[in-house]
A and B are shown apart, each in its own frame.
Chain A
Amino acid sequence: MLTISRALIDQVIAHARADHPDEACGVIAGPAGSDRPERFIAMTNAERSPTFYRFDSMEQLRVWREMDDRDEEPVVIYHSHTATEAYPSRTDISYAMEPTAHYLLVSTRTPGDIEVRSFMIVDRVVTEEEVRAAAGQDGMIET
């Protein structure tokens, strides 16, 4: 299960909408080992493509170093699909290399009906999980 604040989900959706029809991508960092997504980090899609995303390599180094300095890890890795469903594709699965991250998929294929789904992807096995969007401005207040 992914427990995440409504505010963070809204930031992910806003990013996906803003970049449509290109795929949007990013990270939500949280304290290492906590499984709590807290810090939203929109990343540049170096591919700038409607069908593919890739973090810019220098930006990724900067962000990963910063997380390390802050004793954080990438709790959520998100990206959007702009013409297909919010489900991991073959390439999503083959490139998923953070075994403890929640892979959050957003689909912007239908403007008035944005899909948000979350998955664990470990050793190429995809497991969908519930997204528990908690209300509250600060921290995780479970409803």
Chain B
Amino acid sequence: MPAITRVIINQPVVIYFTNECGIMQNNANISEGKTRPVFAERILQFLNALSAIHRFIGRFFKEAFSPPYEIREVIRQCFNVGYKSLAIITLTGFITGIVFTKQSRPSLSEFGATSWLPSLISIAIIRALSPLITALIAAGKIGSNIGAELGSMNVTEQIDAMEVSGTNPFKFLIVSRVVATTCMLPVLMVYAAFVGLMGAFLNVHQNELTSFTTFIHDAFVRISFLDIFASVAKSIVYGFTIGIIGCYLGYNASRGTVGVGKAANSTVVISMFLIFIEEMIIVQIVNLLR
């Protein structure tokens, strides 16, 4: 359906679509022939979604702090989120450490400052790279998994089945998953930073023959408590974001297999988008505190 834009001076821009018969209509209300602007409909949908997700988050906190607690399910989800992501986190963390060191060396060696490599790398890895890389991998792997799993449970009436059997599906499915992602992301972030630094050490040791003790000393000499605290805080925020977005989209997936795919896909896209926005905000706050 080709879109055309009609611009009238002093009027808002309205996008209309022509159907196969060439009849002009907008996307919002084709059947009734009304001409409600597409962008107004989109804004309304966005505000509705925003309101729904706020209610969802509110319900999460209400359910999370009221008994009974699904401890076993939380532990199971922590295992799924944490342990099952170790391989991919190890690989990406290690490669990031090596590649970043290799790429930084030429610039520093121009000034004869290759001895600064451990400090530079540790600052980059601990402050920015490890929280961000861990979060992006988690959004792709864990977020999509949560969205697809809950979406498919919704489509196949498994969530309804839980509800009619007298179990609270929100507590069992949502609270456990969001708690797991929120708790495990900082752990994965610390692990990714460690592996990244090991990758960097191997490269530095190979080229500059720096010992492990010297590397660690140089790496942490410029790292403050605030850096570590900020990275852990970021990971907590990212973990919560990935969990809540995946759960919200999966739990509310429309009926049908298309809805499952859409829930998984949207989880990744929206989580990544929000992670970058949160990164920007947290960095600003930390810089103010520094």
Question: A and B: real partners?
Answer: no
Q: Give residues in A with beta carbon < 8 Å to B.
A: none
Q: Give residues in B with beta carbon < 8 Å to A.
A: none
